[in-house]
Amino acid sequence: MTDHVAPTTRFLVLHDYGMGGSWWWVHARSVREVRETYADVEVVDTPEAMERAEGWGLDEARVDGATTPDGLDELRAKREAQRGLDGFGVLADREIVWLRRRWDYGNDEDQTLYLMEVGADGRRTRQVELVPDGAGVRSGPDDWPFNPPVVDLYDPELVGMEISRDEFETNWRSARHEDDEA
């Protein structure tokens, strides 16, 4: 009996770090294999993006390769460190996840709490910003100039940030839209 190994496909992979991104071609058996191997990446599959990327001279890697290009190697190491932790990949197969996440913007004084509804690709679909006085401000994709993935659903830390749909919806209904007057 021979073991059958699925053929690999060449995927266009992006690590979006906010004001830019790093790109690679990755050979893997599936999108899932790419996402399970590298932290904080997305597979870009639009024909237009793939055609443009052909001329960029991107580094190529194999998920099972002995070497990994600069930048992508760090994302692989991060994923390897996450793999053995409780909660790794628990949220990865969900279509929608609701999270409570604090961002501190680099200082202890300006901490903001966000309730986020996140799709399977890690992008926000709706968000409630809970301001210090307790009021909520809601927003959606039409309010954001950019909407890159904000979370990696394989990240085991997210499990502790998960909230219920009911909690999110309650806050969403009581929040004002960001364009409404306070």
Q: Three-state SS across 10-42?
A: EEEEEEECCCCEEEEEEEECCHHHHHHHCCCCE
In the structure, what pLDDT confidence band is assigned to residue 106 with cuts at 50, 70 and 90? low
Asked whether residue 91 is domain-assigned, the answer is no
In the structure, what pLDDT confidence band is assigned to residue 3 with cuts at 50, 70 and 90? low
User: Domain check: are 105 and 152 in the same one?
Assistant: yes
User: Domain check: are 17 and 73 in the same one?
Assistant: yes
User: Domain check: are 171 and 108 in the same one?
Assistant: yes
Contact 18, 146 (CB under 8 A): no
User: Domain check: are 121 and 75 in the same one?
Assistant: no
pLDDT at 1: 52
Report, as an integer, the average pLDDT of 57-86. Answer: 95
pLDDT at 174: 93
Q: Which long-range contacts (CB under 8 A, 24 or more apart) does 169-173 make?
A: 171/115, 171/128, 171/130, 171/136, 172/115, 172/126, 172/128, 172/136, 172/138
Final residue before a domain boundary, out of 83, 114, 140: 83
pLDDT at 55: 95
Q: Which domain holds residue 127?
A: 96-177
Contact 152, 83 (CB under 8 A): no
Instruction: Name the pTM for this structure.
Output: 0.86
Lowest mean pLDDT among 4-8, 86-90, 156-160: 4-8
Q: Using CB atoms within 10 Å of the CB of residue 148, give its burial: 0 to 12 exposed, 13 to 18 middle, 19+ buried.
A: middle
Domain count, the chain: 2
User: Domain check: are 100 and 78 in the same one?
Assistant: no
More confident residue, 60 or 19: 60
Asked whether residue 136 is domain-assigned, the answer is yes
Asked whether residue 103 is domain-assigned, the answer is yes
User: Domain check: are 61 and 119 in the same one?
Assistant: no
User: Domain check: are 136 and 75 in the same one?
Assistant: no
Final residue before a domain boundary, out of 59, 83, 107: 83
User: Domain check: are 55 and 124 in the same one?
Assistant: no
Mean pLDDT, the chain, whole residue set: 90
Report, as an integer, the average pLDDT of 114-124. Answer: 95
User: Domain check: are 106 and 173 in the same one?
Assistant: yes
Cα distance between residue 23 and residue 9, in whole Å: 16
Q: Count the alpha carbons within 13 Å of 176 in the hemisphere toward its beta carbon.
A: 8
